[in-house]
Amino acid sequence: MSTKIRMIAIDLDHTTLTDDHRLLPEVVEAVRSARRSGIHVVPATARSPQGLHVISDLGITGPVVCFNGAWTGTLTSSIATGEALSHPLESEDVVNVVAAAEKLGLNPCWYTSECMYTLHHGALVDRETRSTGVTAEVVGLNEIIGHEVLKVLLLESSGCSADSLVDQFKSLSFVYSGKALVEVISKGVSKKMALARVAEKFGLDFSEVAMVGDSENDIEAIQWAGLGIAMGNAVPSVMAVADMTVGTNEDAGLAQAFSHIALYNETAITRIRSKR
């Protein structure tokens, strides 16, 4: 079995992108160079398909994982299209989580593959719009029924925690995708699960996959991948499970990660010989 990395999964916010959602030139060149060499580069993000326009300069086409693994589709230019595989939440669960989160002051919003919805505009919705460029539609709880909701997003603040919801809704997954951001998705759904399926479609073993990320929602994928890389700005729990740590997203750490992967591939034959 080959020990070369043939697929690189990349988180977007605070990994590929700077804190103000820019692509550094070094990152653009690193990704484009990897793709020219035949490596599959697969975005794996908590963002919706509509939020991928920020990476259009990377020139990535092919599989893309959105909503922390709840939606997998195909990226063409900056638009995610094609026959998608999705893992929606039950409508009743969405209604109950949103209602409970609203009472706790967690400013919930929820996503289908095409839209973002909220009960009212607030700090979280404004933050999401600034970050992704996606504008929320204000609706009532009753309008959730009949929609294929893929993710509920909550914003914790001083005195407002999602901990009680975790205990109340044990059939759902609650994961942190950033500081104070809590994602609610279907149980068993994760970036790891979606990326494993993408790798299988490419005919690749997990040992041929690298994953680069910074937040708790990246941990399972980093542990699963043959080479797990933490950003220098990653939370401690991510650094603890990664094989290596690179620079921060503000210092083009992702470009450093791609350089390490290139070196890793160059020494693959040496590693194989040393095991004999």
CATH number at residue 49: 3.40.50.1000
Query: Do 177 and 259 share a structural domain?
Result: no
Flag residues of the chain having pLDDT under 70.
1-2, 77-84, 269-276
Kindly state whether residue 2 falls inside one of the protein's structural domains.
no
pTM: 0.91
Kindly state whether residue 54 falls inside one of the protein's structural domains.
yes
Query: Do 75 and 21 share a structural domain?
Result: yes
Number of domains observed in the structure of the chain: 2
User: Rounded distance, CA 260 to CA 264, Å?
Assistant: 6
| Boundary-marking domain end, from 147, 168, 186 | 186
Residue 3: left if φ>0, alpha if ψ -120 to 50, beta else—which one?
A: alpha
Using one digit for the tens of pLDDT, what is the confidence trace for 224-257? 999 999 999 999 999 999 999 999 999 999 999 9
Query: Do 129 and 180 share a structural domain?
Result: yes
Query: Do 180 and 118 share a structural domain?
Result: yes
| Boundary-marking domain end, from 142, 158, 186 | 186
Which residue range forms the structural domain that includes residue 124? 91-186
Kindly state whether residue 1 falls inside one of the protein's structural domains.
no
How many other β-carbons are positioned within 10 Å of the β-carbon of residue 43? Answer: 23
Query: Do 220 and 175 share a structural domain?
Result: no
Query: Do 18 and 139 share a structural domain?
Result: no
Query: Do 178 and 141 share a structural domain?
Result: yes
Query: Do 124 and 244 share a structural domain?
Result: no
Kindly state whether residue 26 falls inside one of the protein's structural domains.
yes
Query: Do 156 and 240 share a structural domain?
Result: no
Query: Do 233 and 193 share a structural domain?
Result: yes
Q: pLDDT at position 272, please?
A: 42
Query: Do 208 and 240 share a structural domain?
Result: yes
Q: pLDDT at position 56, please?
A: 94
Query: Do 201 and 67 share a structural domain?
Result: yes
Q: pLDDT at position 275, please?
A: 34
User: Going along the chain, which residue ranges are E strands?
Assistant: 7-10, 40-43, 62-66, 71-76, 79-86, 109-111, 116-118, 136-138, 151-155, 172-178, 181-186, 209-213, 227-230, 244-245
Q: At what angle do helices 268-275 and 253-266 cross, to 10 degrees?
A: 50
Kindly state whether residue 204 falls inside one of the protein's structural domains.
yes
